[in-house]
Chains A and B, each alone.
Chain A
Amino acid sequence: GAGVSQSPSNKVTEKGKDVELRCDPISGHTALYWYRQSLGQGLEFLIYFQGNSAPDKSGLPSDRFSAERTGGSVSTLTIQRTQQEDSAVYLCASREVGAGAHTGELFFGEGSRLTVL
């Protein structure tokens, strides 16, 4: 498809298990973002990838969280030893950055809803 694709759309896991969430951005978009949104709350920044630059990981809440972006395209967010407070919708977004591009518009995926029991 032409949009940002995230999987799984829903994930239920037990406390202490590891989970991986995947994001496939829009082709050609060099910037990729992960946010999370708890029920009724705003978007919390997690991590930002821009081209070949070192990612901005300043939003990751603990060392249980990590993310990779392979080949400048697909990204995986990994949460180790999940806790109940990790339950949220994890949103991925991508953006085209460069001369002549419509800068600023983030295109979001539909999110991965994580429930930790």
Chain B
Amino acid sequence: RKEVEQDPGPFNVPEGATVAFNCTYSNSASQSFFWYRQDCRKEPKLLMSVYSSGNEDGRFTAQLNRASQYISLLIRDSKLSDSATYLCVVNKRGSQGNLIFGKGTKLSVKP
């Protein structure tokens, strides 16, 4: 089983839609979880950290389910500018500092 798995998509949604991405991880001892965003031919950038209690940043909500070992990202009221690839990131098995990226879920928001 891969350390981090994501649905590759693409997710094609209209503006204003709500879209959710899931990510599963294999290391039950993982402590650090993040969502990164990568625009086409650009480097990844941090979107948000994921906390145990769940957290929200504007239109974005991240949740962690430790029992099922998955992380989710919810985007409400999608904007054209949300079109990007969303990367799930978890610390590597046996290392709190080393971070492993999922392959990403591509989102395309259409007018």
Bound together: yes
A residues with CB within 8 A of B: 31, 33, 35, 41-43, 45, 48, 50, 56, 91, 95, 97, 103-106, 108-111
Q: How many residues of B contact A (CB 8 A)?
A: 20
**Per DSSP, are chain B's interface residues mostly helix, strand or loop, or mixed?**
loop
Residues of A close to B43: CB separation below 8 A: 91, 108-111
Min C-beta distance of A7 to chain B, whole Å: 15
The 6 closest A-B pairs by CB, nearest first: A42-B103, A108-B43, A43-B101, A48-B98, A105-B46, A50-B97
A48 near B95: Cβ-Cβ < 8 Å: yes
B-to-A contact residues, CB < 8 Å: 32, 34, 36, 42-46, 49, 87, 92, 95, 97-104
Q: Tell whether, in the assembled complex, residue B98 and residue A56 are in contact, meaning their CB atoms are under 8 Å apart.
A: yes
In the assembled complex, which residues on chain B have CB atoms less than 8 Å from the CB atom of A104? Answer: 32, 34, 46, 49
Chain A residues near B87 (CB-CB < 8 A): 42-43
Q: How far is the CA of A104 from the CA of B48 in the complex (A)?
A: 10
CB distance from A45 to the nearest CB of B (A): 6
Pair A43/B44 contact, Cβ less than 8 Å = yes
- B34 partner residues in chain A, CB cutoff 8 A: 104-105
A56 CA / B43 CA spacing, docked (Å): 22
A97 to B: closest C-beta gap in Å: 6
**Selected A-B contacts with CB under 8 Å, 7 pairs:** A31-B97, A45-B99, A56-B95, A95-B97, A97-B97, A104-B49, A105-B46
